[in-house]
Amino acid sequence: MTRTSLSTADLRKPVVASAAVREFARGGYHGTTIADVARAAKISPAYVVKLFPTKERLFVTALETCFDQVVQALAAGADGAEDGSPDGLLDAMGGAYAHLIADRTLLLLQVHAQSVADLPEIGEALRAGLREVVDFAKARSGASDEAVQRFVAYGQLCHLIVTAQVDAVPEAWARLLVEGIRHPG
């Protein structure tokens, strides 16, 4: 039997990526330093730079980690769907996504990524993550292009409702936006 042992770097990368998700979600790209991520990962900033040579690369890794978790949640939602129709699968995926973003960390990271998508490496990673979500939703559900577009549009509406706390506003315009959208507490 052959054993593969992981290097210290291979073991540390997921820890640093997880810390980067949390720190960038909290402070955004511009408000978070490599030292902040290092402190959260309980390693030195120099070691973070050894693993991820630039702040952009670190942010991209956090974003890739985020989208991996999103697709895993969508898959779990689809796997647990009671209705196997394309719309039923998309609805179950949407419910799973709503539960995933209830703690706001992944949601806020995506919002921060959108705000710095003009940085080429980050914009490319954001588009790659969105492509992964769209391709997964389309392939797994078998839904029409229009249904998948609506699914993603509702996801973005969920982002707006949660980040702007629209669901706490009692006015008619807010009720119109929130109607039929699920947001676990």
Query: In this predicted structure, what is the pLDDT of residue 185?
Result: 54
CATH number of 8-178: 1.10.357.10
**74, 90 in Cβ contact below 8 A?**
no
Q: How far apart are CA 110 and CA 89, in angstroms?
A: 23
Query: What HEC string does the chain produce?
Result: CCCCCCCHHHHHHHHHHHHHHHHHHHHHHHHCCHHHHHHHHCCCHHHHHHHCCCHHHHHHHHHHHHHHHHHHHHHHHHHCCCCCCHHHHHHHHHHHHHHHHHHCHHHHHHHHHHHCCCCHHHHHHHHHHHHHHHHHHHHHHCCCHHHHHHHHHHHHHHHHHHHCCHHHCCCHHHHHHHCCCCCCC
Q: Could you give the CA distance from residue 135 to residue 7 in angstroms, rounded to a whole number? A: 33
The mean predicted confidence, pLDDT, of the chain is 93
Instruction: Write out pLDDT tens, residues 63-98.
Output: 999 999 999 999 999 999 999 999 999 999 999 998
pLDDT digits 0-9 by tens, 109-155: 999 999 999 999 999 999 999 999 999 999 999 999 999 999 999 99
pLDDT-based confidence at 9, cuts 50/70/90?
A: confident
Whether the pLDDT of residue 107 is over 60: the answer is yes
Is residue 119 packed enough to be buried (19+ CB in 10 Å), middle (13-18) or exposed (0-12)?
Answer: middle
* Segments making up each domain of the chain, as ranges: 8-178
